[in-house]
Amino acid sequence: MSKILIIGAGGQIGTELVLELRKMKGNDTVIAADLSDECPVLIKNGPYVQMDVLDREFVRDYIISQQIDEVYLLAALLSATAEKHPDFAWKLNMEGLFSVLDLAKEKHIKKIFWPSSIAVFGATTPKVNTPQKTVMEPSTVYGISKQSGEGWCSYYFDNYGVDVRSIRYPGLISYKSLPGGGTTDYSVDIFYQAKLKSQYSCFLKEDTLLPMMFMEDAIRATIELMEAPSEKVKVRTSYNLAGISFTPAQIAQKIKLHLPDFEMSYTPDFRQKIADTWPGSIDDSQATKDWGWKERYTLESLVEVMLENVDVSLLDKDV
């Protein structure tokens, strides 16, 4: 059984990925790693190691000594936080990637998953059904780091045979852990505030159409891509992936069907400028063709599951 290391395991994606991979492959084979000295409560059912991905020597020694086969590298600063700390965002988002790519180049790692984002696209990209291959002129440090990372993944595959796989995730919506500083975070915050106060002040304008996805679909996509035979993985930059596209007004309207008193107001902030450069919808036909991707959640089913499961006490908890 392959030994798997998930770096950035305590975050929005990591928490759910760890739980799902442990369910499939056994608790002991999936090692969670993050900055905190304490293992996050939700992933206490298996091994945990405190790790700073920027500590190249530690990462190297750990991966070699523990004979890790696969690495999922999730540690990063997301779009909104990255705009506040551009130098550090560039450092974190790129250096961790090089550490694992180099270990794979030296044959210490067999397979890598590294996520990209819709942030690789920019204002000059076609907004509707954005193609897999198109103009990419990102305007955020986050988008620039993801676009560069994609280029390096493809370079390491072409020149050193590194089996690195990637998805351009849309905005991800989940209830098990909170999002970590992205432009799409409103689509999660809204459920907490709807349940808590029946009102939400949205930091994006009501008609801002963005591609989104429920976490269960995103985790399934990630694992399907990682389990696909190597020859089926034709894109070695990163795959477009689509779920559901909606605006703040559209999701508010669906929530209102369950909570009729819910009211939404709009106070756009600096994140609006970021969102304005991103696509409204994504063409993911290449992922469907190559490894059979198909989303399952609709806006209606997502809203239902979120309202049922969002636990407002999570807002005060360290998970």
- When asked if residue 184 is in the footprint of ligand NAD (CB under 6 A), the reply is yes
* Helix, strand, coil percent values for the chain (each to nearest 5): 45, 15, 40
Work out how close the CB of 130 gets to ligand SER at its nearest, in angstroms, rounded to a whole number: 14
Torsion, CA 292, CA 32, CA 13, CA 114, rounded to 10 = -60
| Residues touching ligand NAD, count (CB under 6 A) | 28
The answer to whether 209 touches 281, Cβ cutoff 8 Å, is yes
99/208 with CB nearer ligand SER: 208
> What's the CA gap between 79 and 148, in Å, rounded?
15
Work out how close the CB of 115 gets to ligand SER at its nearest, in angstroms, rounded to a whole number: 8
Torsion, CA 172, CA 173, CA 176, CA 178, rounded to 10 = 80
**Out of 156, 169, 200, 278, the residue judged to bind ligand NAD by CB under 6 A:** 169
Binding to ligand SER (CB under 6 A) within 161-220 occurs at 171, 182-184
- When asked if residue 172 is in the footprint of ligand NAD (CB under 6 A), the reply is yes
What amino acid is encoded at 16 in this protein? Answer: E
The answer to whether 217 touches 297, Cβ cutoff 8 Å, is yes
Q: Residue 25: CB partners within 8 Å, gap ≥ 6?
A: 1, 2, 4
**Which residue among the candidates 72, 142, 186, 200 is catalytic per the annotation?**
142
Binding map of ligand NAD across residues 73-102, x = CB under 6 A, - = no contact = -xxx-x-------------x----------
127/258 with CB nearer ligand NAD: 127
Tokens found for residue 144: 């620039």
> What's the CA gap between 204 and 251, in Å, rounded?
12
Q: Residue 120: CB partners within 8 Å, gap ≥ 6?
A: 136, 138, 143, 146, 147, 150, 168, 238
Long-range (24+ apart) CB contacts under 8 A made by 311-314 are 311/175, 312/192, 312/195, 312/196, 314/177, 314/178, 314/192
**Binding range to ligand SER, per CB under 6 A, among 48-56, 93-101, 112-120, 294-302:** 112-120
- When asked if residue 78 is in the footprint of ligand SER (CB under 6 A), the reply is yes
Catalytic residue list contains 72: no
53/141 with CB nearer ligand NAD: 53
Residue 183 interacts with, from ligand NAD, ligand SER, none (CB under 5-8 Å by kind): ligand SER
- When asked if residue 79 is in the footprint of ligand SER (CB under 6 A), the reply is yes
Work out how close the CB of 35 gets to ligand NAD at its nearest, in angstroms, rounded to a whole number: 5
**Binding range to ligand SER, per CB under 6 A, among 14-22, 113-121, 191-199, 300-308:** 113-121
**Out of 2, 23, 28, 35, the residue judged to bind ligand NAD by CB under 6 A:** 35
Work out how close the CB of 239 gets to ligand SER at its nearest, in angstroms, rounded to a whole number: 14
- When asked if residue 12 is in the footprint of ligand NAD (CB under 6 A), the reply is yes
> What's the CA gap between 174 and 130, in Å, rounded?
24
| Chain Cα centroid distance, residue 219 | 9
122/179 with CB nearer ligand NAD: 179
Positions marked catalytic: 142
For binding to ligand NAD (CB under 6 A), which residues are involved? 7-8, 10-14, 34-35, 51-54, 74-76, 78, 92, 115, 117, 169, 171-172, 179-182, 184
For binding to ligand SER (CB under 6 A), which residues are involved? 78-79, 117-119, 171, 182-184
